[in-house]
Amino acid sequence: MTSFAPLLQSFFTDRLMTQRQASPNTIASYRDTFKLLLGHVQEQAGKAPSALTISDLDAGAITGFLTYLETVRGNSIRTRNTRLAAIHSLFTYAALRHPEHAAVIQRVLAIPTARIQRNIVSWLDQDEADALLAACNQDTRTGRRDYALFSLAIQTGLRVSELIGLNIADIHTGAGPHVHCLGKGRKERRTPLLPAVVAIMGHWIQERNATADAALFATTTGRRLSRDAIEQRLRVTVATAAASCPSLNGKRVTAHTMRHTAAMRLLQSGVDTTVIALWLGHEQISTTNIYIHADMTLKENAIAKVAPPKAAAQDRYQPTDTVIAFLEAL
């Protein structure tokens, strides 16, 4: 066994779990990254993961792996950058323990993240949200669970990981009704609940009929719902809702879309972005500004307040040289 295997093991047990006390989601993400990386390098180099050395994971191998993620697995740029961040974290740790591989490590750490195109966020308007909830079959336990889940997500804007982690005790329906969650970065927050959602959650908790520490949203076998299960149930429900709400046809609706919906409702109600940032658990208010760019109503109101300039009409500019004309055409 080479020195890489104990390095990887100590990275998880010492660095992530002990020193940084990383969350289970972070550890799972890093684990998946290195399972994919080692599998890819094994296929390319013909070496078992236990036989790989740090030199086998040079900049060329890492770059090839990133290309494989995009071209073969069809991963997004964001996922590619997440995998690279995990690799950078390992090699930063390796730099302290294996200075003899400093040259290889520095070249890997120099691999840049890819630029991401920031698209305008998508959310559900009132008719689309109503159609989504109406499409939940109230005659089945699964439909009633989905109805409670989607109602809570649309009103509170909780992340899918936060929804998955909720226990029955996290829903408080008495005085000052709210939901308590442990969010990203281990930050606790409490989000108020509207009376309609309080009633929905009360009925669901009564039907759930489980202990306070049991999962709020569970499968028919009692296990905690997974991210994939929630996304699958959402796809099925959206397909049903599209029959009564044509605007949902062709619209990509994910669990994060419901989070965007909650944010846009707050913004359109005149809530300040700093409050929305606290509501959503954003680390920086700049993250919340994406909703301002997405809301055309705010932009239309702004342009309506701007008087058109009273400048005299001018002829259109024409380049005076063929080289300049070429540059203008680029």
Q: Which residues are catalytic?
A: 159, 184, 256, 259, 282, 291
Helix (H, G, I), strand (E, B) or coil at 327: helix
Are 221 and 141 in contact by the 8 Å Cβ rule? The answer is: no
Are 281 and 183 in contact by the 8 Å Cβ rule? The answer is: yes
Tokens 């390098």 appear where?
A: 41
Question: How far is the C-alpha of 275 from the C-alpha of 282, rounded, in Å?
Answer: 10
Calculate ∠ Cα 49-51-55, nearest 5°.
Answer: 95
User: What are the φ/ψ torsions at residue 243 (nearest 5 degrees)?
Assistant: -65, -30
Strand partners, 189: 181
User: What are the φ/ψ torsions at residue 119 (nearest 5 degrees)?
Assistant: -80, 160
Contact partners, residue 164, CB within 8 Å, separation at least 6: 217, 224, 225, 226, 227, 230
Exposure on the CB side of residue 252, measured as CA atoms within 13 A: 4
Amino acid identity, position 38 = L
Contact partners, residue 97, CB within 8 Å, separation at least 6: 7, 10
Are 295 and 269 in contact by the 8 Å Cβ rule? The answer is: no
Question: How far is the C-alpha of 108 from the C-alpha of 59, rounded, in Å?
Answer: 5
Question: How far is the C-alpha of 264 from the C-alpha of 271, rounded, in Å?
Answer: 10
